[in-house]
Amino acid sequence: MKRIAVVTSGGDVPGLNAAIRAVTRSALAYGVQVIGVHRGYEGLIAGEFTEMTSRDVGGILRKGGTILGTSRSERFMTAEGRRMAKERLEQAGIEGLVVIGGNGTLAGAYQLYKLGVPLVGVPKTIDNDQYGTDTAIGVDTALNTIAEAVGRVKDTASSHRRAFLIEVMGRRCGYLALASGIICGAEMVLIPERPASPDDVARRIIEASHIGKAHCIIIVAEGWPPGTRALKEHLLTNHVDEGFDVREVVLGHVQRGGTPTAFDRLLATRMGVRAVESLLDGSGIGHMVGLHGGQLSLVPLEVATSQQKPLSAEMLRIAEMLCR
Ligand code: F6P
């Protein structure tokens, strides 16, 4: 291969720029030209391509976001959209593609690969819901951001003897809530994978108050039904006199920005280089770069996109014991 492209698609995460830099500079080191695709899959369909030089990726290791831009593309979900994307790549003489994305993006990449486009996937998502890898680019930074924010909320919670419902992202997956509950010493974690009723939460708040805690921190995954707002309303309507005063904090997109941690920079760099090397030698075509026990591996996209990643039984057990 003499000309490859790199695209970031789906929700952004800290560490994308480190991955773009690694892809660009490693490809250039092998004498391969690199094309940056702008605006994710939308830009792939529209042919928004520019050549990347080593200087174009200078000074971006520590920057959040993605210098290439991204999109959630409805059009790429259609066969027609993918056909147009393939045509654009062929017209531009692009022989291989590195796709940096989460599960929706990688599912799209698998379809594009089946159309005959040689490509390698790199997993990124703060949700840590990508099957076939222990973790993905962005998870560690998001967790650190959550830990910092929850620590601040805990300070004010203790001063006022309040309960706080802190909602974290994760879509339908409870990983971020589970992990942040453990690392922040939360009193309770609410995740879609484990049913709990608003009355269970009320009991936990009362219990925390009875054993003398000055705060009660409840981490709520955004995918937990019936949701943070409904839970707060239930507590304020039915249990207001029994325990703490309740407040709600939705961390939102704060979790998706910021400078990537050392872990994410290293992971993004290792995965980016491995993607290029395995694209050039052919071993990674139709695969996603995964991380297993600290080692990189190549997982067929067919497998990586075939199922939901289960939550760690060990972490569930730890949270069960310690988050109270
Ligand atoms: O998948 C990453 C994620 O941040 C989820 O945690 C969240 O549900 C979703 O993306 C938010 O998407 P958007 O940025 O399109 O609002």
175 C-alpha to ligand 1 centroid (Å): 14
Any atom of ligand 1 within 6 Å of the Cβ of 251: no
Choose the catalytic residue: 12, 127, 129, 140.
127
**Ligand 1: nearest atom to the Cα of 176:** 6
- Judged by phi (left if over 0) then psi (alpha if -120 to 50, else beta), residue 28 lies in alpha
171 C-alpha to ligand 1 centroid (Å): 7
Which among 37, 102, 21, 112 is positioned nearest to 69, based on CA atoms?
37
* Nearest protein CA to atom 10 of ligand 1, as residue: 11
The fold of the 3-138+260-304 domain, in CATH, is Rossmann fold (3.40.50)
Rounded Cα distance, 5 and 179, in Å: 35
320 band by pLDDT with thresholds 50, 70 and 90: very high
Is 127 part of the annotated catalytic residue set? yes
What mean pLDDT is predicted for residues 259-263?
98
**Ligand 1: nearest atom to the Cα of 170:** 6
| Domain regions of the chain by residue span | 3-138+260-304, 140-252
CATH no. of 140-252: 3.40.50.460
8 C-alpha to ligand 1 centroid (Å): 15
Which among 300, 274, 296 is positioned nearest to 285, based on CA atoms?
300
What 8-state DSSP symbol labels residue 33? Answer: E
Any atom of ligand 1 within 6 Å of the Cβ of 11: yes
Check if 3-138+260-304 and 140-252 are the same fold.
Answer: yes
For the entire predicted model, the pTM comes to 0.97
pLDDT score for 241: 72
Rounded Cα distance, 302 and 254, in Å: 32
Would the pLDDT of 324 be above 70? yes
Report the mean per-residue pLDDT for the chain.
97
